[in-house]
Amino acid sequence: MSDIREYFDSLRGKRIAVIGMGVSNTPLIRMLLRADLDVTVCDRAQRERVEEQAEELESLGARLRLGEAYLEGLDQDVIFRTPGLHPGHPALEAARARGAEVTSEMELFFRLCPCRLIGVTGSDGKTTTTTILAEFLKEAGYNVYVGGNIGKPLLPDVSGMEPEDFAVLELSSFQLMTMEQSPHIAVMTNLSPNHLDYHRSMGEYIAAKENIFLHQGEGDRAIFNYDNQLTRDLAEKAGGAVTFFSRRERLEEGVYLRDGAIWLTNAQGSREVLPTRDIRLPGVHNIENYMAAIAAVDGLVPDKCVRAVAARFQGVEHRIELVRELDGVKYYNDSIGTSPSRTVACLESFPEPVILIAGGSDKGIPFHALALEIRERVKTLVLTGDTARAIRQAVEEAEGGRGCPEIIQTEDLAGAVEAARRAAGPGDVVVLSPACAAFDRFKNFMERGRAFKELVRSL
């Protein structure tokens, strides 16, 4: 705990602002207040929405600035930014110009964490790859902490971590934008356009992702997807050792597919690590997730542990999650499909005829590539949400594939589930994979996925 105490001691006499009182920042706020520091909590939420939490933080000594004017008068000495607030926001730029230090909960964790860090980022596959990786390490007997964009904030656990432990982190572009440290092992699953409603350009999005490996040094490692041109090109900037994984090419060195199995070639030679038939998760994208995780734990985890995890691991909620089978039709929840590329990967997982439920809030990503995949693979397309019209137009205007599927538009998710049920026959699959964020109708993709599961279970 000495490093945390030293850090908190360095803040004495300074005024601190924490922007956002959500899941990632609340433990930090409590720690700062319990250290008897001067803390102002700023959040856009109106007080009536967060009354219970507001009362708790005020009882610990916090001042609150809530509502639409939450960023006015941001004149504190140290400011912790919520990941959802762009670091280039005028209020933060003005604070920096006045000499304020603008940082984040994740940056502080990297600064104080005493154990080995593994970070996973990319446009798709982050959560599954992070979870598989952590399971590999646990199976091999390591003490593992899982956090970042999934799990719980790990800052309160720093005092109990040992140097031989591992912290495995899923890291979003929002968290990485201002990072000046990189994990010891960095994994880049893939890159495609995403979050262009937040980032000012695709270049800014890629630059944020690069921070997962840009600050590595000798003895560190970075894992890149060889099949994705963007990530392959980024490998040239890596400061540590580089390992590629590829589903399409047999690499002279790295992790690759050969004769229905995942192989690894390194300085010690070549070996078969895992037959793909033993992977319980559907879809070629999950083979890639396993390959990325295997590359990351090379030299740390025996192959028998990899095979033991593959034999039991059935996936993460909201990721091509089988909800039920009814009247010969299987219903899958892929609410994590918040971008067109994720939904394309989902569709590629099914040889059966697909009734796809899609649509949600707009992230500024074009639907052309998704439209081509829908015309090739989808039997019936059920659309709902703010982007329904845009997706429909993209599918109707696209050319190729097997032709335009039947398209049904509904007012809400309940109507979409009913329409999908009527359109499906024995042997079909119904999949919720929206290709869009959930914020038009739901708090997040988890709430949307759970609503879908409830609707399916009530059929």
Instruction: Report the top-level CATH class of 113-312.
Output: alpha beta
- The per-residue pLDDT for range 357-400, each reduced to its tens digit, is 999 998 888 999 999 999 999 999 999 999 999 999 999 999 88
Please give the share of the chain, as a percent, with pLDDT higher than 90.
Answer: 84
- Which whole number is the average pLDDT over 311-332? 91
Paired tokens of 214: 């840009």
Question: Which tokens is 314 given?
Answer: 């059935």
Between 149-163, 195-209, 252-266, 306-320, the lowest mean confidence (pLDDT) is in 195-209
pLDDT for residue 317 is more than 90: no
Distance CA 374, CA 354 (A): 9
**Domain 321-457 is in which class?**
alpha beta
CA distance 116 to 166: 5
Does the domain made of 13-103 have the CATH classification 3.40.50.720? Answer: yes
Mean pLDDT of the chain: 94
| d(C-alpha 329, C-alpha 310), whole Å | 26
- Choice among 69-73, 142-146, 183-187, 262-266 with the minimum mean pLDDT: 69-73
Residue pLDDT, tens place only, 408-417 = 999 999 999 9
Q: What is the pLDDT of residue 196?
A: 66
The Cβ of residue 55 has, within 10 Å, a number of other Cβ atoms equal to: 12
Position 293 scores a pLDDT of 98
Tens-digit pLDDT profile for residues 330-369 = 999 999 999 998 899 899 889 899 999 999 998 888 999 9
Q: How does 434-452 read in b/e, with b if 16+ C-beta sit within 10 Å? A: bbbbbbbbbeebeebbebb
Quote the CA–CA distance of 143 and 140 in Å, as a whole number: 9
* Neighbouring-strand partners of residue 324: 331
Cα separation, 188 vs 210, in Å, equals: 9
**pLDDT confidence bin for 27, thresholds 50/70/90:** very high
**Which of 20-24, 93-97, 136-140, 409-413 is least confident?**
20-24
Pairing of strands 254-258, 261-266: antiparallel
CA distance 428 to 274: 30
Looking at residue 1, its pLDDT comes to 40
Query: What pLDDT score does 364 carry?
Result: 84
Please give the sequence-ordered ranges of beta strands (E in DSSP) within 35-184, or none if there are none. 38-43, 63-66, 78-81, 101-104, 116-121, 144-148, 166-170
Has residue 200 got a pLDDT over 80? no
Which residue carries 């989902």 as its tokens?
Answer: 346
Dist. CA 22–CA 425, nearest whole Å:
43
Per domain, the residue ranges of the chain are 13-103, 113-312, 321-457
pLDDT greater than 50 at residue 268: yes
The yes-or-no verdict on residue 12 having pLDDT over 80 is yes
- Same fold: 113-312 with 321-457: no
Is residue 151 over pLDDT 80? no
* pTM of the shown model: 0.79
Q: What whole-number distance in Å separates Cα of residue 172 and Cα of residue 105?
A: 13
User: What's the pLDDT band for 2 if we cut at 50, 70, 90?
Assistant: low
Percent of the chain with pLDDT over 70: 98
Sign of the torsion angle spanned by Cα atoms 60, 63, 69, 73: negative
Q: Do the beta carbons of residue 179 and residue 106 sit within 8 Å?
A: yes
What pLDDT does residue 284 have?
87
Q: Does residue 458 have a pLDDT over 70?
A: yes
* Confidence band, pLDDT 50/70/90 cuts, at residue 402: confident
Residue 43: which region, alpha, beta or left (left: phi > 0; alpha: psi -120 to 50)? beta
Amino acid at 364: G
Residue 11 has pLDDT above 60, yes or no: yes
Task: State the pLDDT at residue 84.
Answer: 86
Say which residues have a Cβ less than 8 Å from residue 64's Cβ, sequence separation at least 6: 40, 41, 43, 47, 54, 57, 58
